[in-house]
Amino acid sequence: MLRSVVASRTGTVSVAVLVFVALLAVAGPWLAPHDPLLQDPQAILAGASAEHWLGTDNLGRDVASRLLAGSTLSLVAALEAVAVGLVLGVVPALLSVHLGRAVEWLSLRLMEALVTLPFLVFAVAMTALLGNGLQQAMLAVGVLVAPGFYRVTRAAALPVATAQYVEAAVLAGASPWTVLRRHVWPKVVPAVAVSTASLLGASLVIVSSLTFLGIGITPPTPTWGGMLATDLQYLFQRPFGPFVPAVLIVATVWACNGIADALRDAPALSAERKVAAHVG
């Protein structure tokens, strides 16, 4: 699957960007030249220097170190949200196709209800209810991206469930579990992979929006969205300040979408290949 993504130029660049951001996130604590929370009253809103590569913020904290620490938090949070969405979306979708009409009806109505919820308002309400923490906020985001996974999985699984080759397998004595593993799952995976990539980007935007608003995170903890918010307040003193977190957010989201596109167009996964194979 990776090979087919790298085959396109957008795919290659996207993978490179994500690998770079992932390295920042993983190696952040070791790469950081300073403690991201350490305040230096002597150097408030300083420009770039050998000591502080990207300058300091309004409390004299090293911006580079805060960005590195923020990368870890922002990415992990987005991944967490997507993981929650995957479980809450894919599993009910597969069950809705295979467990009969009652489950189908219930899960469809539930997902429709979720789709009607406004993203940010729901996340704010969740953190108000469960406490203002990143875990709670990400749980909320996960619940909100679940319908996306649900729809994509169901769309891929539904034609398979009624396919004649599944009937043939059932007649050979296959259990529902075998049918799922052998026939349904391989057709669902490509679609889910595309959604995972694009919803990862979407989740990152939501994480950034929430932390920008101060939801899910308490002040000293650095995140990309939170830093963007503070930097914007000191635009006159450090005009370039907001650009660094903003560029990181945009590049990462773009890379996620790039990978999603490459996955979707990958010849090994696209529907055209199957159709062509049938005709030939």
The type of residue at 23 is: L
Distance in angstroms (rounded) separating the CA atoms of residues 218 and 201: 23
CB of 153 to other proteins, least distance (A): 17
| Contact residue for other proteins among 41, 102, 129, 164 (CB under 8 A) | 164
| Contact residue for other proteins among 169, 213, 250, 251 (CB under 8 A) | 169
CB of 159 to other proteins, least distance (A): 11
The answer to the question of residue 277 lying near other proteins (CB under 8 A) is yes
Is 37 or 163 the residue whose CB approaches other proteins more closely?
Answer: 163
Residues contacting residue 247 through CB under 8 Å, at least 6 positions apart: none
CB of 118 to other proteins, least distance (A): 37
Assess contact for 135 and 84: CB atoms under 8 A. no
Nearest to 233 by CA among 248, 214, 215: 214
CB of 97 to other proteins, least distance (A): 16
Is 50 or 277 the residue whose CB approaches other proteins more closely?
Answer: 277
The answer to the question of residue 162 lying near other proteins (CB under 8 A) is no
Is 112 or 167 the residue whose CB approaches other proteins more closely?
Answer: 167
Judged by phi (left if over 0) then psi (alpha if -120 to 50, else beta), residue 212 lies in alpha
Nearest to 4 by CA among 181, 271, 269, 191: 269
Residue ranges in 171-200 that form contacts with other proteins under rule CB under 8 A? 171-175, 182-183, 186-187
| Contact residue for other proteins among 163, 246, 250, 251 (CB under 8 A) | 163
Distance in angstroms (rounded) separating the CA atoms of residues 195 and 192: 5
Distance in angstroms (rounded) separating the CA atoms of residues 223 and 160: 43
The answer to the question of residue 264 lying near other proteins (CB under 8 A) is no
Distance in angstroms (rounded) separating the CA atoms of residues 59 and 38: 9
Distance in angstroms (rounded) separating the CA atoms of residues 261 and 53: 35
Residue ranges in 38-97 that form contacts with other proteins under rule CB under 8 A? none
The answer to the question of residue 102 lying near other proteins (CB under 8 A) is no
Which residues contact other proteins by CB under 8 A?
163-165, 167-175, 182-183, 186-187, 274, 276-278, 280
